[in-house]
Amino acid sequence: MPNRQEIALMAHLMRRAGFGEPRWELDARTAKGYEAVVEELLHPEEQPAISDELMYRILPGYEGALGPPINQADWVFRMVNTKRPLEEKMALFWHQLFATSNAKVDNPPELTRQIAMFREFGLGNYRDLLIELAKSPAMIFWLDNHGNHDGAINENWGRELLELFSLGEGNYTENDIQNAARAFTGWSIAPKIPRNPLGRFYWKFAYKPEDHDGGEKTFLGHTGNFNGEDIMGIIVEQPASPRFLARHLYRFFVADEPA
């Protein structure tokens, strides 16, 4: 029979690694043992996911144009009922780090798909996650990469990628920003952007090779005919990258500053 101290420790873990749990779930987890629960949290694929079919049944218009409340309700339901709490908590972490907003994107289903991408890749390889982020239609629209063209670059995505998403200020140059932007030319959205009467069209990532700058680029001390995936590989090899990520993880899960 778990004692009060063991239950309190488990409650603390589940508040940090999830969204808290009722007493009966804490009792069941405590009976499994702390180390076993940690392993379970780190391997969400071993637990059942909440099905989209369930969401269709309880939220009419789930994929439709009813706006943000449907998508907000979807996420809150998943936070409360998930059997994969750390996966869901990491989706929230990445959502606040890789900030996008419906205020500009104006496509709630696409933002929901982006959060689903955070669930899928959020506990995996950081390079893979950054590549998926760069292919996210919501992020492409949010940071204007659909307007980033060969011979007419838009630096918004390149700048935010280095400053806010991977390295932090002081660990790159303006030249690095420009060459990162060049490497991501041609990474765009299909179909075209305008709304239909019921909302946005369903977006998907579209690579347009005719709009990609295939010329030589120098980025963070490396030179080559880089594309976007090459840029992500170089970024994660920088000493500043793990420090940047560790700092944000600590602030989200532990405290604003180390004790």
**Is 33 domain-assigned?**
no
* pLDDT of the residue at 141: 96
**Is 57 domain-assigned?**
no
* pLDDT of the residue at 73: 83
**Is 174 domain-assigned?**
yes
Mean pLDDT of 25-43: 96
Beta strands in the chain (DSSP E): 187-190, 204-207, 217-219, 222-224
For residue 141, give the nearest of 97, 211, 201, 219 by alpha carbon.
201
Mean pLDDT, all residues of the chain: 92
Mean pLDDT of 191-206: 76
Distance CA(181)–CA(148), nearest Å, equals: 7
Domain interval for residue 165: 76-253
Q: Per residue in 37-93, pLDDT tens? A: 999 999 999 999 988 777 777 766 555 555 677 788 889 989 999 999 999 999 999
Mean pLDDT of 203-207: 95
**Is 139 domain-assigned?**
yes
pLDDT band for position 243 (cuts 50, 70, 90): very high
Which residues, at least 6 apart from 27, have a Cβ–Cβ distance to it below 8 Å?
Answer: 2, 7
**Is 14 domain-assigned?**
no
CA distances from 33 to 18, 29, 84, 85, 136 (A): 17, 7, 17, 17, 39
Residue 97 corresponds to which tokens in the numbers above? 């780090």
pLDDT band for position 107 (cuts 50, 70, 90): confident
**Is 188 domain-assigned?**
yes
**Is 231 domain-assigned?**
yes
Mean pLDDT lowest among 44-58, 92-106, 123-137, 198-212? 44-58
Mean pLDDT of 223-243: 98
**Is 55 domain-assigned?**
no
pLDDT band for position 24 (cuts 50, 70, 90): very high
Is the pLDDT confidence value at 173 over 90?
Answer: yes
Provide the number of structural domains found in the chain: 1
For residue 158, give the nearest of 115, 187, 137 by alpha carbon.
187
Residue 190: CB atoms within 10 A of its CB come to 15
